[in-house]
Structure 1
Amino acid sequence: MADTMRALLAHNAGDPKDLRIEEAPIPTPEAGEVLIRITAAAVNRSDALSCRGILPGPFPRILGRDFAGVVVAGSTELEGVRVWGSGGRDLGLAMNGSHAEYMVAPVSGVTPIPDRLSDIEAGASGLAYFTAAEAIARAGGMRPGKTCIVTGAAGGVGGAVAALAHWQGMRVVGVVKSDAESERLRRSHFSEVVPADAPNFVTLLADAAEEAVLAVDVVGGSMIAAILPALAVGGGLCILGAPAANPLAAVDTLHFYRQELRLVGLHTGRLTSTDSARVLASLADGFASGALVGAPIFATYPLDSAQQAYHDVESGVAGRPVLVPAGTLP
Structure 2
Amino acid sequence: MQALQFSATGSLDSLQVKRLAKPVPGAGEVLVEVRAAGLNPSDLKNVLGRFPYTTTPRIPGRDFSGVVVEGPKELLGKAVWGGTGKGFSFTQDGCHAQYVVVPANAVAPKPKSLSFAQAATFGVPYITAWDALERSQVKAGTRFLIIGAGAVAKAAQALAKARGAEVVMAARRADVVRELKAQGVDAFELPEAGQLPEQAQVHFQTLAPEVIFDTTGYWLSAAVNTLAAFGRIAVIAAPVDGLISMPILDLYRRGGSVIGINSLLYSLEECAEIFEKISAAFDGELPVPDDFTELPLSKAVEAYNKVNEGGSEKIVLIP
TM-score range, shorter chain: over 0.9
The answer (yes or no) to whether the contact 1:83–1:113 under 8 Å persists in 2 is: yes
Q: Secondary structure at the match of 1:234?
A: coil
1:275 to 267, 270, 278: 270
| Counterpart among 153, 160, 164 of residue 158 in structure 1 | 153
Retained in 1: the 8 A contact 2:142–2:210? Answer: yes
- Residue 42 in 1 paired to residue 38 in 2? yes
Instruction: After superposition, give the CA deviation of every residue in 1:152-206 in whole Å (9 maximum; x if it has no partner).
Output: 22x1111000001101111111121221211111133632333356884453134
- Between the aligned partners of 1:53 and 1:296, the Cα distance in structure 2 is 31
Question: 1:96: Cα distance to partner?
Answer: 0.3
Question: Whole-Å Cα distance in 2 between the matches of residues 122 and 262 of structure 1?
Answer: 33
TM-score, normalisation: structure 1: 0.90
Q: Within 5 A, what are the aligned runs for 1:152-301?
A: 152-153=148-149, 155-188=150-183, 190-196=185-191, 200-209=195-204, 210-221=207-218, 223-244=219-240, 247-289=242-284, 291-295=285-289, 297-301=291-295
- Report the CA distance between 1:25 and its aligned residue: 1.1
Aligned to 1:138: 135
* Unaligned 5+ runs, structure 1: 326-330
1:163–1:157 Cα change, 3 Å: same
C-alpha contact 1:115 1:288 (8 A) present in aligned 2? no
Q: Kindly, what percent of the aligned residue pairs are identical? A: 30
Greater Cα shift, 79-88 or 62-71: 79-88
Number of residue pairs aligned between Structure 1 and Structure 2: 316
Deviation string, structure 1 residues 237-276 (Cα, Å, up to 9, x no partner): 111011226x543322232112110101122222222121
Alpha-carbon distance between aligned partners in 2 of 1:301 and 1:257, rounded to the nearest angstrom: 48
In the aligned structure 2, how far is the partner of 1:311 from the partner of 1:65? 17
Which of 57, 82, 98 matches 2:54? 57
Corresponding residue for residue 22 of structure 2: 26
Residue pair 1:164, 1:292 contacting (<8 A) in 2 also: yes
Residues 1:66 and 2:63 aligned together:
yes
Residue identity in the other structure for 1:205: A
Q: CA deviation at 1:303?
A: 1.1
Runs of 4+ in 1 over 4 A off after TM superposition: 196-199
- The separation in 1 between residues aligned to 2:184 and 2:257, in whole angstroms, is 25
Structure 2 length normalisation: TM-score?
Answer: 0.93
Taking only aligned residues, the RMSD between alpha carbons, in angstroms, comes to 1.9
Aligned partner of residue 263 in structure 1, secondary structure: strand
CA distance in 1, matches of 2:201, 2:269: 37
Rounded Cα–Cα distance in structure 2 between residues aligned with 1:272 and 1:194 = 37
Where structure 2 has 5 or more consecutive residues not aligned to the other structure, the ranges are none
Query: In the alignment, is residue 307 of structure 1 matched against residue 301 of structure 2?
Result: yes
1:228 Cα offset (Å):
1.7
Aligned residues of 1:225 and 1:251 also touching (Cα < 8 A) = yes
CA distance in 2, matches of 1:167, 1:60: 41
